Structure 1
Amino acid sequence: MKQEFTLTIYTENHIGLINKIAIMFSRRKISLESLNTSPSEVENIYRFTIVVIETPSVVKNLVCQLEKIIDVFKVFCNTNDEIIWQQIALYKVSTPVIMKEVKVERLLREYGAKAIVIRDDYTVFEVTGQEEEIHNVLQKLTKYGLIEFVKSSRVAINKESHGIHKMIVEMENNNPKGQPITNQYLDQKQQIFQM
């Protein structure tokens, strides 16, 4: 049965790397729900955060293949209950409607929206949250003349107290050509993937 997985891929930043990763997904006909790339906490190491909806066995095989790419240090695979994640959404609405409709103001306060641009013709609000919160605000603002909407890709952090920083620094300092870092979280989930 398909479910949502968040893959965190730690890599060096080399030209063509995103293409190599994209080919892995397209060959397996896996759609990306979300893709984000950013620097990590380790200098010169970048992280891709990719969300897919797929079966555990397909994701397991994908993780193994991604880890074979030379520039990839490690791939972590997590379910939503194992990570803390957020997205940012921007909503452009008519300023005259916002000024007239008190309900909209209450709605925006309820979801922690903040105005980042206020003009005579439109106002842009920012909401940070998870998919459901962002979708609820979108649905409700549509009734009040929503002009434009955009949301970011997912950013996620593992709930475990340690990150990859220590593992990468130790690997680079002690034995850069030694054994690859093992994903203990993925190893613990082997039972899930075998279902």
Structure 2
Amino acid sequence: MENKWFTISVYSENNVGLLNRISGIFLKRHINIESLNVSKSEINGVSKFTVVIFTTEDWTRKIVQQIEKQIEVIKAFYHTDEETIYQESALFKIASNLLFDDRQIQNIIKESNAQIVTVSREYFVLAKTGRRGEIDEMYHQLSPYGIMQFVRSGRIAVTKSVMQITALLKEFQTK
């Protein structure tokens, strides 16, 4: 089996220590977590972990089965990139003089559909939302000019197909 990108979605109760136990499952198998995001789900009181890994489907299936054994986990799923709609966000902090003195910076901002979040005398901050490759491309374009700070979010994703978790979560909420 070949390595591919997988997005794992974990629906759980919001309990202390669960993130540590879930990350331990990856650690035991020597699989690197490429991206991690935890947020509220569509059901009150239920959290959604979105984990991105690069491995085989066999390993991914085993990991999901192990995650589901955790007491607080309601259900876990995995999907390929083709089965999901996903985005990441990034912030770039750049010296302000470049915004006004270098036309190429303005072109990069325009061509990448980035937004200027704030401007001060010392720096300006750009926000870029998109797929990993789009953010990487913007990073490589801005690197020669000097990036003062850079941060990117974990992946957020929804599936293209209807997920049966909604009915399961509603049942959980009524308990």
2:119 maps to 118
Query: Which SS does the other structure have where 1:70 is aligned?
Result: coil
* Counterpart-to-counterpart distance in 2, 1:16 and 1:97: 45
* Counterpart-to-counterpart distance in 1, 2:115 and 2:109: 8
1:88 maps to 89
* Counterpart-to-counterpart distance in 2, 1:46 and 1:171: 12
Query: Which SS does the other structure have where 1:143 is aligned?
Result: helix
Return structure 1 stretches of 4+ with deviation > 2 angstroms. 161-167, 170-173
Cα offset for 1:160?
A: 1.4
Q: TM-score, normalization: structure 2?
A: 0.94
Q: Which runs of 5+ in 2 are unaligned?
A: none
* Counterpart-to-counterpart distance in 2, 1:46 and 1:93: 35
* Counterpart-to-counterpart distance in 1, 2:104 and 2:127: 17
Q: Given residue 74 of structure 1, which amino acid in structure 2 is its aligned partner?
A: K
* Counterpart-to-counterpart distance in 2, 1:161 and 1:62: 23
Verify the 8 A CA contact 1:97 1:145 in the aligned structure 2.
no
Query: Which SS does the other structure have where 1:47 is aligned?
Result: strand
Aligned length: 174
- Compare the two structures and name the one with the higher strand fraction: 2
Q: Does 1:35 align with 2:36?
A: yes
Q: Which runs of 5+ in 1 are unaligned?
A: 177-195
Query: Which SS does the other structure have where 2:43 is aligned?
Result: coil
Verify the 8 A CA contact 2:11 2:49 in the aligned structure 1.
yes
Cα offset for 1:29?
A: 1.2
* Counterpart-to-counterpart distance in 1, 2:90 and 2:164: 27
1:142 maps to 143
Structure 1 residues 9 and 22: alpha-carbon distance in aligned structure 2, compared to 1, 3 A threshold: same
Percent of aligned positions that are identical: 33
* Counterpart-to-counterpart distance in 2, 1:35 and 1:108: 27
